[in-house]
């Protein structure tokens, strides 16, 4: 049995001087640290001055896009996609995808993401890289039929799902239609039927640009959320991403469906200069999760940075300081992501998955320690993560990825351009 010792923080509260007992892949119990000697503990991590968090769920990623970091800066999203990213993506090889996906996932893992939800091409390679690292990964092969893009052939998305279904305890396939303007209504209906048959999650970009909204309206006379409803996919198995142009009419319709909206505030602020109506969605009881999106455009696969921006940008966008509290944003990054992915995780309670993060809080930014939710959202950096546990196994500790026996620097050396 293993134990993490420190101050426990989850969306339900704070418990000082606690020991989280892990048996197998789940949390067996949470007890006062003084009772630790009553149990047969083989390994103890943490101690005084440490914070124990539920694993952060990175609910929307494109991890292999670490290769494109810094490309296409300061341009609108449609130009960024059409002129920079898509041409570069057509040059991918499976071997290259695997190397860069491993690096992107390793960065996310080292910064406290115990789970990712990835939407990209060559999904088999990304799955194998995830398996190497020991991260919990939900992976979908991008599908679209209204843009000529050979590596996004819809049939490959279905085949990938079938190949990986039940294939791995930690790597789970999902369905990944690209967006409401790049996937026909007929294909989205087919995806919906397949998802209902297989009890599968659907992960889709939604209202991420005004061009997308206008295209869907022109084709079908519908707003993007209405399009998803007509296709039969608007339910609690849908994970929509971005939603920055959702209308007042769409917000309650989306909320009522039980679907999740993944808030990627930093990437959308950078690419479109705006963010989603998260406050209105939350008021309507929509499940909100957070995602880093991709290393390009956000720069860092750091969920703490994403929490910080989500809190601040929602205050700026609404011109109010009483919205997006630190505690609420923290719940989005933990329990919200877990709920989206149908995981019994996101809280530190007996019976929940032992996906946990240990923060070394013996640093000035964690003082005076009166409001730990504030410290976590506004003061913590990914570099404060000392240990990451997934499914009860330590997969990252003090800079080393245990499963592959390498550090981030060693992975960097493997993919960096020669001479740099």
Q: What's the pLDDT at 296?
A: 87
293-338 tens-digit pLDDT: 999 888 899 999 999 999 999 999 999 999 999 999 999 999 999 9
230-258 tens-digit pLDDT: 999 999 999 999 999 999 999 999 999 99
Number of domains in the chain: 2
81-140 tens-digit pLDDT: 889 998 999 999 999 999 999 999 999 999 999 999 999 999 999 999 999 999 999 999
> CATH number for the domain including 81?
3.20.20.140
Would residue 420 count as lying in a domain?
Answer: no
Using the predicted structure, report yes or no on whether residue 419 has a pLDDT greater than 60: no
Residues 157, 224 within the same domain: yes
Strand pairing category for 260-263 and 238-242 = parallel
b/e per residue 205-241 (b: at least 16 CB within 10 A) = bbbbbeebbebbeeebebbbbbbbbebebbeebbbbb
Would residue 414 count as lying in a domain?
Answer: no
Residues 216, 143 within the same domain: yes
Average pLDDT for the chain: 96
Q: What's the pLDDT at 418?
A: 62
pTM of the model: 0.96
Residue that finishes a domain, picked among 289, 323, 340: 340
Place of tokens 């390994």: 43
Using the predicted structure, report yes or no on whether residue 221 has a pLDDT greater than 80: yes
Residues 22, 168 within the same domain: no
> CATH number for the domain including 361?
2.30.40.10
Cα 74 to the chain's mean position, in Å? 24
Residues of the domain holding 104? 56-340
Q: What's the pLDDT at 415?
A: 86
What's the token pair of residue 293? Answer: 């999106």
Using a pLDDT cut of 90, give the percent of the chain over it: 93
């Amino acid at each position: 049995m293993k134990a993490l010792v420190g101050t426990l923080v989850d969306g339900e509260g704070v418990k000082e001087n606690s020991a989280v007992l892990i048996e197998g892949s789940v949390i067996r119990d949470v007890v006062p640290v003084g009772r630790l000697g009553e149990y047969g503990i083989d390994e103890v991590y943490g101690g005084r001055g440490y914070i124990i968090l539920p694993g952060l769920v990175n609910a929307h990623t494109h991890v292999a896009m670490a290769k494109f970091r810094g490309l296409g800066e300061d341009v609108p999203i449609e130009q960024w996609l059409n002129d920079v990213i898509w041409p570069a993506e057509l040059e991918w090889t499976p071997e290259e995808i695997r190397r860069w996906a491993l690096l992107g996932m390793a960065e996310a893992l080292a910064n406290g993401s115990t789970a990712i939800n990835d939407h990209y091409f060559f999904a088999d390679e990304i799955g194998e890289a995830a398996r190497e690292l020991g991260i919990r990964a939900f992976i979908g092969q991008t599908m679209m039929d209204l843009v000529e893009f050979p590596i996004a052939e819809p049939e490959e998305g279905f085949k990938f799902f079938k190949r990986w279904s039940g294939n791995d305890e930690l790597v789970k396939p999902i369905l990944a239609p690209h967006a409401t303007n790049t996937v026909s209504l007929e294909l989205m209906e087919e995806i919906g039927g397949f998802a209902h048959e297989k009890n599968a999650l659907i992960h889709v970009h939604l209202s991420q640009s005004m061009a997308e909204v206008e295209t869907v309206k022109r084709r079908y006379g519908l707003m993007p959320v209405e399009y998803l409803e007509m296709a039969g996919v608007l339910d609690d198995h849908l994970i929509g991403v971005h939603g920055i142009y959702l209308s007042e009419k769409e917000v309650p319709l989306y909320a009522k469906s039980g679907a999740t909206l993944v808030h990627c505030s930093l990437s959308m602020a950078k690419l479109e200069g705006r963010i989603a109506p998260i406050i209105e969605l939350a008021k309507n009881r929509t499940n909100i999760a957070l995602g880093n999106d991709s290393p390009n455009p956000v720069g860092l696969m750091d969920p703490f940075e994403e929490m910080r921006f989500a809190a601040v940008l929602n205050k700026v966008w609404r011109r109010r300081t009483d919205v997006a509290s630190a505690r609420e944003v923290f719940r989005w990054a933990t329990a919200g992501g877990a709920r989206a992915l149908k995981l019994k995780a996101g809280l530190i309670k007996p019976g929940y998955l032992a996906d946990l993060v240990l923060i070394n809080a013996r640093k000035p930014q964690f003082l005076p320690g009166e409001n730990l939710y504030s410290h976590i959202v506004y003061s913590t950096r990914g570099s404060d993560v000392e240990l990451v546990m997934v499914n009860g196994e330590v997969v990252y500790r003090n800079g080393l990825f245990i499963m592959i026996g390498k550090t981030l620097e060693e992975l960097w050396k493997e993919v960096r351009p020669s001479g740099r």
